[in-house]
């Protein structure tokens, strides 16, 4: 019996059996004759609305790639009924079945098909973050991820925030993909056989392999210049990495193509440094580049013999790339294609030429059952309360009654941080970074899994006592750059936070650009569902299914504040200034810039609450949504 089958069996034995068939069959897409069979086999309540069918087949080449990135534990699919969530309702078992069928099609076509992932498996849902005390983030959910036949994978920054998580990836995950889990510039310090601490790659520096159709490949897996990694791990800047001897040796021999993968955006990032280093040695060798990190759909071509693809976030996108390598001379431009797929069963069945009765594979079904059982084991269905309405992270302006950020700052923090807090009777002025929320809140039951998807971060709340309201307001203004003189500080702070992994601002700005692009296109949107609209730098249409764009309101301050304590003298130093430890350095810098009476240091900072950022919504829901 395989590991997954054994795991599922143990879960079922423990739980007394987990039902995987609904009592009644569900008709999902009754407007489309191809999809008129009843769906059976999953416990999930699928969207009751119809999902659009892709409009055209994928373009296959000699070499083809299925790409995932920034999945962040979203392995059970998006299960809310409000659009665009139904677009992404396929779970990882469905994706496994899709990959298996696509491999069969590739074999029939006598072409190569590679499966690639570019990192960030952690921090995002209850499946990754809802482990019991003593566990390790995503250790269990990664076991299901490892059941898929990934050819090459790269490390992400969320694999490096906590040493024990990195160690788990080094000792338990990387060995499942021998030589193919790449961390070209990311190391971990571990004891060697003699008890001496040595710095070694988390996975492998690079990989050289031959595809099923006999093509030689040299692959690298590169991390952006990340600075938020934990003690005991190191990340080398790509500019320094390309000067290493091992890098020169790795790229010395010419393969049939280079496979550059890594956790870096394909635009406005460090990829040109790596690309140019390869091109300096091999001016015309085909390069297939897969990026990630900024959570967007994007594609660029740095020359006519390469393509760079970025495939979104949270299993909301499955990327597709193909290239013909045999149709041209060694210097002609290559013919590439790319596509951004919405991961749901309509998409998967269309592109694999299957029906509901023929789509599911045994491995896919086992993965779904195992994920369901893990969800039950973690008690992710535990309900904290019932959200009275939808609250949006980007699709509603801030401040507004529909803004999740307004809800967090104005209601959630004052209520949640007062529970079981001995300082609750002391007036407090609370800051939280706007990137502290990661997802929308939808009307209806708010459960443990929702708590993790909306805010998976384990940032602790800390405080500085005896601060005046006026000084606190100056600190907030400085952090948000409300005056031109403070803008330079904010720009520096934003770059620092990006280097530590915060991509919320870039994602929101991308959504806004896509919505503005969509607004000027003269097309009929009457029958289109809400979803991603992508305008990138590669030829042709990238989105597999046309949508009307998701709106994004980018006028959001970097830091949000709770309501000012009522009836407090603004110049009286009796207020607790509360913030998260993730931004402690920025707050101290702003405090010391706002006044010269004293120099604030880490010695002035104390622990404020046992409740961390990833639990405030659950505490609030129990207090206010029942």
Cβ atoms of 122 and 191 within 8 Å: the answer is no
The pLDDT value recorded for residue 36 is: 31
The contacts of residue 447 (CB under 8 Å, 6+ apart) are 380, 381, 382, 383, 384
Ranges assigned E (strand) in 294-341: 297-300, 306-311, 318-324, 335-341
237 CB-contact burial (10 Å; exposed 0-12 / middle 13-18 / buried 19+):
middle
Query: Does residue 601 surpass a pLDDT of 70?
Result: yes
186-191 and 197-201 strand pairing: antiparallel
Greater confidence (42 vs 602) lies with 602
The pLDDT value recorded for residue 10 is: 39
Query: Does residue 533 surpass a pLDDT of 50?
Result: yes
State mean pLDDT over 560-589: 92
Cβ atoms of 604 and 464 within 8 Å: the answer is yes
Query: Does residue 555 surpass a pLDDT of 80?
Result: yes
Give residue 283's pLDDT band: very low, low, confident or very high (50, 70, 90). Answer: very high
Query: Does residue 428 surpass a pLDDT of 50?
Result: yes
- The dihedral of CA 56, 32, 517, 396: what is its sign? negative
CB-CB neighbours of 286 under 10 Å: 23
The pLDDT value recorded for residue 25 is: 28
Q: Pick the closest to residue 126 from 164, 75, 85, 166 (CA basis).
A: 75
State mean pLDDT over 343-366: 96
Tell which phi-psi region holds residue 3, choosing left (phi > 0), alpha (psi between -120 and 50) or beta. alpha
- How are the residues of the chain apportioned to helix, strand and coil, as percentages rounded to the nearest 5? 35, 20, 45
Tokens describing residue 494? 């934003």
The contacts of residue 120 (CB under 8 Å, 6+ apart) are 69, 70, 71, 72, 156, 157, 158, 159, 263, 292, 293
From residue 577, how far is each of 28, 465, 574 by CA, in Å? Answer: 51, 6, 10
Query: Does residue 124 surpass a pLDDT of 90?
Result: yes
Query: Does residue 18 surpass a pLDDT of 50?
Result: no
Query: Does residue 521 surpass a pLDDT of 90?
Result: no
Tokens describing residue 428? 């407090």
Under DSSP, the state recorded for 392 is B
Q: What's the CATH number for 59-377? A: 3.60.21.10
Start-to-end CA distance of the chain, whole Å, equals 45
CB-CB neighbours of 572 under 10 Å: 12
Tokens describing residue 523? 């097309």
Q: What phi, psi does 298 have (nearest 5°)?
A: -160, 155
The pLDDT value recorded for residue 304 is: 96
The pLDDT value recorded for residue 457 is: 87
* Cα separation, 476 vs 319, whole angstroms: 40
DSSP alpha helix (H) spans, 89-129 = 92-109, 126-129
The pLDDT value recorded for residue 31 is: 32
State mean pLDDT over 1-22: 37
* Enclosing H/E stretch for 11: helix 3-15
Report whether the peptide linkage leading into residue 399 is cis, meaning its omega lies within 30 degrees of zero. yes
The pLDDT value recorded for residue 526 is: 79
CB-CB neighbours of 571 under 10 Å: 9
**Lowest-pLDDT choice from 3-17, 301-315, 322-336, 495-509:** 3-17
Query: Does residue 4 surpass a pLDDT of 70?
Result: no
List, by residue range, all CATH 3.90.780.10 domains of the chain. Answer: 383-506+554-624
Return the percentage of the chain with pLDDT > 90, whole number.
Answer: 80
The pLDDT value recorded for residue 317 is: 98
Instruction: Select the CATH number that applies to the domain covering 383-506+554-624 from these four: 3.40.50.1820, 3.40.50.9100, 3.90.780.10, 3.40.640.10.
Output: 3.90.780.10
List, by residue range, all CATH 3.60.21.10 domains of the chain. Answer: 59-377
The contacts of residue 266 (CB under 8 Å, 6+ apart) are 289, 291, 298, 299, 300, 308, 309, 310
* Cα separation, 160 vs 235, whole angstroms: 9
Greater confidence (35 vs 211) lies with 211
pTM of the model: 0.89
Mean of per-residue pLDDT scores for the chain: 90
The pLDDT value recorded for residue 485 is: 59
Q: What phi, psi does 14 have (nearest 5°)?
A: -65, -40
* Cα separation, 146 vs 142, whole angstroms: 6
Q: How far is CA 199 from the centre of its chain?
A: 27
- CA angle (235, 241, 242) in 5-degree steps: 160
Return the percentage of the chain with pLDDT > 70, whole number.
Answer: 91
User: What is the per-residue pLDDT across 21-62, written as a single tens digit (0 to 9) for each?
Assistant: 332 222 233 333 333 333 333 344 455 568 999 989 999 999
Query: Does residue 482 surpass a pLDDT of 80?
Result: no
Q: How far is CA 508 from the centre of its chain?
A: 14
Which residue has 């009836």 as its token pair?
567
State mean pLDDT over 224-238: 97
State mean pLDDT over 436-454: 95
332 CB-contact burial (10 Å; exposed 0-12 / middle 13-18 / buried 19+):
exposed
Q: Pick the closest to residue 233 from 152, 175, 169, 314 (CA basis).
A: 169
Give residue 483's pLDDT band: very low, low, confident or very high (50, 70, 90). Answer: low
Query: Does residue 587 surpass a pLDDT of 90?
Result: yes
State mean pLDDT over 217-232: 97
Instruction: Return the CA Rg of the chain.
Output: 25
Q: Pick the closest to residue 587 from 463, 450, 440 (CA basis).
A: 463
Helix 362-377, helix 92-109: angle, nearest 10: 160
Q: What phi, psi does 318 have (nearest 5°)?
A: -115, 125
Give residue 94's pLDDT band: very low, low, confident or very high (50, 70, 90). Answer: very high
Give residue 486's pLDDT band: very low, low, confident or very high (50, 70, 90). Answer: low
The pLDDT value recorded for residue 435 is: 85
User: What is the per-residue pLDDT across 571-582, written as a single tens digit (0 to 9) for each?
Assistant: 999 999 999 998
Residues linked to residue 444 through DSSP beta bridges, in sequence order: 387
- b/e string for 473-508 if b means 16 or more Cβ within 10 A? bbbbbbbbbeeeebeebbeebeebbbebbbbbbbbb
Residue count of the chain, please give it: 626
* Cα separation, 328 vs 336, whole angstroms: 12
């Amino acid at each position: 019996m395989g590991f997954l089958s054994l795991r599922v069996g143990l879960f079922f034995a423990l739980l007394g059996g987990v039902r995987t068939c609904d009592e009644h069959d569900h008709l999902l897409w009754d407007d489309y004759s191809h999809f008129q069979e009843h769906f059976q086999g999953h416990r999930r309540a699928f969207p009751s609305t119809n999902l659009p069918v892709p409009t055209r087949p994928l373009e296959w080449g000699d070499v083809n790639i299925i790409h995932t990135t920034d999945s962040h534990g979203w392995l059970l699919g998006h299960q809310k009924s409000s659009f665009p969530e139904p677009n992404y309702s396929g779970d990882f078992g469905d994706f496994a079945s899709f990959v298996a069928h696509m491999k069969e099609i590739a074999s029939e076509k006598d072409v190569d098909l590679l499966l690639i992932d570019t990192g960030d498996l952690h921090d995002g849902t209850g499946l990754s973050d809802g482990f019991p005390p003593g566990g390790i983030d995503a250790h269990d959910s990664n076991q299901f991820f490892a059941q898929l036949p990934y050819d090459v994978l790269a490390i992400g920054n969320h694999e490096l925030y906590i040493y024990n998580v990195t160690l788990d990836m080094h000792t338990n995950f990387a060995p499942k993909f021998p030589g193919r889990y790449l961390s070209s510039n990311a190391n971990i310090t571990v004891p060697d056989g003699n008890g001496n601490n040595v710095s070694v790659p988390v996975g492998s520096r690079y990989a050289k392999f031959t595809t099923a159709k006999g093509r030689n490949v040299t692959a690298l897996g590169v991390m952006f210049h990340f600075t938020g990694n934990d003690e005991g791990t190191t990340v080398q800047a790509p500019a320094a990495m390309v000067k290493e001897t091992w890098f020169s040796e790795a790229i010395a021999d010419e393969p049939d193509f280079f496979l550059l993968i890594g956790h870096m955006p394909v635009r406005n990032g460090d990829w040109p440094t790596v690309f140019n280093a390869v091109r300096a040695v091999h001016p015309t060798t085909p390069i297939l580049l897969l990026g990630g990190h900024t959570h967007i759909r994007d594609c660029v071509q740095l020359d006519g013999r390469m393509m760079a693809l970025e495939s979104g976030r949270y299993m909301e996108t499955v990327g597709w790339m193909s290239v013909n390598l045999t149709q041209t001379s060694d210097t002609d431009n290559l013919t590439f294609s790319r596509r951004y797929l919405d991961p749901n069963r309509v998409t998967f069945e269309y592109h694999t030429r299957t029906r509901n009765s023929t789509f599911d594979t045994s491995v896919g079904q086992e993965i779904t059952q195992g994920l369901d059982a893990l969800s039950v084991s973690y008690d992710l269905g535990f309900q904290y309360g019932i959200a009275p309405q939808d609250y949006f992270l980007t699709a509603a302006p801030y401040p507004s009654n529909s803004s999740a950020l307004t809800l967090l700052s104005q209601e959630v923090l004052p209520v949640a941080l007062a529970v079981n807090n001995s300082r609750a009777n002391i007036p407090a002025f609370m800051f939280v970074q706007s990137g502290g929320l990661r997802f929308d809140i939808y009307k209806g039951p708010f459960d443990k899994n929702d708590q993790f998807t909306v805010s998976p971060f384990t940032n602790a709340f800390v405080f500085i006592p005896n601060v005046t309201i006026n000084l606190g307001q100056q600190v907030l203004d400085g952090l948000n750059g409300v005056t031109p003189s403070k803008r330079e500080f904010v720009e520096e702070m934003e770059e620092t936070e990006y280097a530590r992994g915060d991509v919320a601002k870039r994602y929101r700005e991308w959504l806004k650009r896509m919505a503005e692009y969509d607004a000027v296109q003269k097309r009929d949107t009457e029958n289109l569902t809400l979803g991603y609209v992508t305008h990138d730098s590669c030829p042709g249409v990238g989105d597999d299914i046309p949508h009307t764009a998701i709106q994004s309101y980018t006028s959001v301050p970097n830091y949000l504040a709770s309501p000012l304590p009522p009836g407090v003298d603004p110049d009286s130093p009796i207020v607790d200034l509360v913030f998260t430890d993730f931004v402690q350095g920025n707050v101290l810098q702003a405090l010391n810039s706002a006044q010269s009476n004293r120099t604030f240091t880490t010695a002035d900072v104390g622990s404020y609450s046992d409740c961390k950022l990833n639990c405030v919504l659950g505490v609030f829901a129990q207090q206010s949504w029942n």
